[in-house]
Amino acid sequence: MPAWIESLVVAIAAFGVVFGTVVIIHELGHFWVARWLGVKIRAFSIGFGPVAVERTDKRGVKWRLSALPLGGYVMFATAQTPDNDTLYGPKGLYEEQSPLRRIAIASAGPLANILLSIGLLAILAMTAGEQRISPLPIVGYVAPESAADRAGLAEGDKILAIDGTPISAFDELRAIVAARPNEEVAFQVARAQGEESEFRIRIDAAEDPNAPGKVLGRLGVAPRSETYRVGPFTALLKGAQGAFLQFAATAEYLGRLLTGKAGIDGLAGPIGIAKISGDVARAGAQDSATLADGVIGVTVRLTELAAFLSIAVAFMNLLPLPMLDGGAILFYVAEMARGRPLNEQLRAGLERVSLVALLILAAIVTWGDIGRTFGS
């Protein structure tokens, strides 16, 4: 199979899993809260446009898979769609709900995305864990052709002492080595196999990148990284922290974008998300010794991507634009403040302007995606 076809298949499959999960959870948020509040639901669709597959359940809800898998929607019963709505009566119509109930329904989609992100990040914290640099003076990596490599140090070796001075932390090792370029030093080492050995190593000299002209000692080793996993409660806290930081970073980027301090290169549409999904999936599979390792690597990377994409979708939908959940919430808040709904003509006009603006933005972002994906 040609490489470009393989890349395309991987990108489409990864995009379907990641984006599909985020969209389904978002729409289910609207769906379940509306059902809980007694609102009649006519259709639940993944995708827009012509219906490709449809099944009607015993409650009369049409479950659809539509031709353009770029989002989804929940269709509620309104006065304009009266068929079969007598099952619920007027109280089941969406517009008959109080503004507070409609705010709850509109907020449920973004909230579901936020909860999804927290849940996914918590699962990763409990299972995959996070990599941390060990503070112990244990060799995690030996640079080829370095002083350590020439002397025979290996991954897993623990430095016990340098010239008789006990070492308990990698930072101590780093500081002593840096101060002794071109000197021969005695290292007392506990080998990975268990025995202790002494190595006499002449430390290499290298220029300090932060201070031109200054020479530092260089051994050529890096500390070991360790995987830390946590329990459910700590995992939830870490998930919430990660989701909050991503939400704040998205808001900060939008602020820089609106003030001209950032370009639209940081935005991605469906094509860009598909490419990122494919790249992430391939990165997760790289350097995997076994098929099982590859599956785990891909799963972890795509789960991370889904968590961050879910926050992006929540943030976007909370923007106060009439075609988005945030715009609907703004209308309902105004209705509560005024004691009556906004003028229908005014609302329709704002929705048309919002739709045009979103379509223009989508076209610009898609053009950028095409350029970045196929331009090289």
Helix (H) or strand (E) holding 238: helix 232-258
* Cβ contact 283:300 at 8 Å: no
Residue 105 lies in a domain: no
DSSP state of 342: P
Residue-level pLDDT at 85? 47
Q: Can you tell me the distance from the alpha carbon of 126 to that of 286, in angstroms, rounded to the nearest whole number?
A: 23
Average pLDDT value over all residues in the chain: 85
Q: What is the pLDDT of residues 99-118, one digit of tens each?
A: 999 999 999 999 999 999 99
Residue 104 lies in a domain: no
* Listed residue (156, 321, 165) closest to 254, CA to CA: 321
215: containing domain:
132-227
User: Position of tokens 């260089």?
Assistant: 218
* Cβ contact 204:186 at 8 Å: no
* Listed residue (17, 15, 68) closest to 46, CA to CA: 68
Compute CA distances 232 → 124, 236, 290, whole Å: 11, 6, 29
Q: What is the pLDDT of residues 275-331, one digit of tens each?
A: 777 777 777 667 566 777 777 778 888 888 899 999 999 999 998 888 889 999 999
Whether residue 302 sits in one domain with residue 175: no
Whether residue 370 sits in one domain with residue 233: yes
Cβ neighbours around 146 below 10 Å, total: 17
Residue-level pLDDT at 188? 95
Q: Can you tell me the distance from the alpha carbon of 19 to that of 277, in angstroms, rounded to the nearest whole number?
A: 9
Q: Mapping DSSP to helix (H, G, I), strand (E, B) and coil, where does residue 82 land?
A: coil
pLDDT band at 49 (very low <50, low <70, confident <90, very high): confident
Q: pTM above 0.75? A: yes
Residue-level pLDDT at 84? 47
User: Position of tokens 């927290």?
Assistant: 118
| Residues 6+ positions from 8 with CB-CB distance below 8 Å | 278
Residue 80 lies in a domain: yes
Whether residue 234 sits in one domain with residue 221: no
Q: Report whether pLDDT(267) > 80.
A: no
Residue 155 bears catalytic tag: no
Whether residue 263 sits in one domain with residue 326: yes
Whether residue 341 sits in one domain with residue 244: yes
**Catalytic residue, candidates 27, 155, 172, 252:** 27
Phi, psi of 196 (to 5 degrees): -100, 145
Please state the domain count of the chain.
Answer: 3
Whether residue 267 sits in one domain with residue 305: yes
Which residue among 227, 254, 286 closes a domain?
227
Q: Can you tell me the distance from the alpha carbon of 144 to that of 259, in angstroms, rounded to the nearest whole number?
A: 47
Query: What mean pLDDT is predicted for residues 351-371?
Result: 75
